[in-house]
Structure 1
């Protein structure tokens, strides 16, 4: 082979290598499809975690309301049973947040109180959120005949969107020795017994 021909062939191959830099359209499409599949898998999991964080707010606030009611009863021998007196619990909790509305209502003649974390009816949570209910009641310690308070926290079995759970529709039974009983449509998350 002539030297001149070899030089041209090598020059042509080097030039071809320089022109081949970059990605082909097929390679780019494959990468975009892979990213799309990963996003389709990850997005629902992410949305579920974001919803759990929103529900965690309500669970924490209603639990704090329960403890606040117990402390208030210890000091004043009465429960806060009216929304206008909500601030007397001294929790620093807003009665309404971005997703929830917090209320208190009488659970039975001043001897029990129901604390509510209700999904706001004017917010369309996607996916829907669960409501939380807390109950605090008086109980008598059998051995000493002293009065104490029992508190429980409950989570709605079904998530609700706009329209939410009506605070007036939530009712709870209280027993002398076991305290708050699980309302219909809710699950027991525990509390003091």
Structure 2
């Protein structure tokens, strides 16, 4: 009988150890999954935050200098043009007229193009709105690609009222 009791105790101990090991492995797997998700969110947040900051830097630059910065360095925002996750760029476009004034500065487009397959890309644009009689102001939009993409964003469109995100992108601000 004592052999059977010992055998039952051993079985219970093995069962408890199996449950604890399974639980521990499950918790480790869950933590890895959560960490990966947080890492993905952080990478996406980088692109969105940098492009929004580039928009604000361009608006401030325009208020001070009456023109758009041509490069990230010129905008003095203090970010790198390329990180592990994104490639950032500034492009000024004179052909899209948002106001009718002499010495029209065009619009400025800031992009954060994903370098990894599972990240979305971002586009920001700053432009002038209003008129000389009522006053000019700078306005910006921030766009996110509908799907993850490593392709450069297209050029925003002007519908005679406001800039619109290019095809494949949606406004997020």
Bin the TM-score by the shorter chain: 0.7 to 0.9
TM-score, with length taken from structure 1: 0.70
Alignment partners' CA distance in 1, 2:160 and 2:78: 31
- Would you say the 8 A contact 1:102–1:115 is kept in 2? yes
Structure 1 counterpart SS, 2:156: coil
Residue matched to 1:114: 109
Specify every segment of 5 or more residues in structure 2 that has no aligned partner in the other structure, as ranges: 96-104
Instruction: Identify the residue that residue 79 of structure 2 maps to in structure 1.
Output: 93
Match of 1:185 in 2: 168
Cα deviation for residue 40 of structure 1 reads 4.2
* Aligned partners of 1:139 and 1:176 also within 8 Å: no
User: Which residue in 2 is equivalent to 1:55?
Assistant: 44
Please give the alpha-carbon distance, in whole angstroms, between the structure 1 residues aligned to 2:73 and 2:134: 31
The correspondence for 1:31, drawn from 15, 20, 38, is 20
Larger radius of gyration: 1
**Structure 1 residue 104: Cα displacement:** 0.8
Asked if structure 1 preserves the Cα contact closer than 8 Å seen for 2:112 and 2:122, the reply is: yes
Deviation (angstroms), 1:186: 1.4
Q: What root-mean-square deviation, in Å, do the aligned CA atoms of Structure 1 and Structure 2 show?
A: 2.7
**Which of residues 139, 143, 157 in structure 2 aligns to 1:173?**
157
In structure 2, what is the Cα distance between the partners aligned to 1:94 and 1:184? 27
**Distance in 2, Cα, partners of 1:170 & 1:44:** 34
Residue 57 of structure 2: aligned partner: 68
CA distance in structure 1 between the aligned counterparts of 2:148 and 2:126, rounded to whole angstroms: 24
Kindly report which structure 2 residues correspond to 1:90-169, keeping only aligned pairs within 5 A, or say none.
Answer: 90-109=76-95, 110-120=105-115, 124=116, 128-141=118-131, 144-160=133-149, 164-166=150-152, 169=153
Q: Distance in 1 between matches of 2:39 and 2:49?
A: 16
Distance 1:176 1:76, change over 3 A: farther
In structure 2, C-alpha distance between the alignment counterparts of 1:39 and 1:139, rounded to whole Å: 53
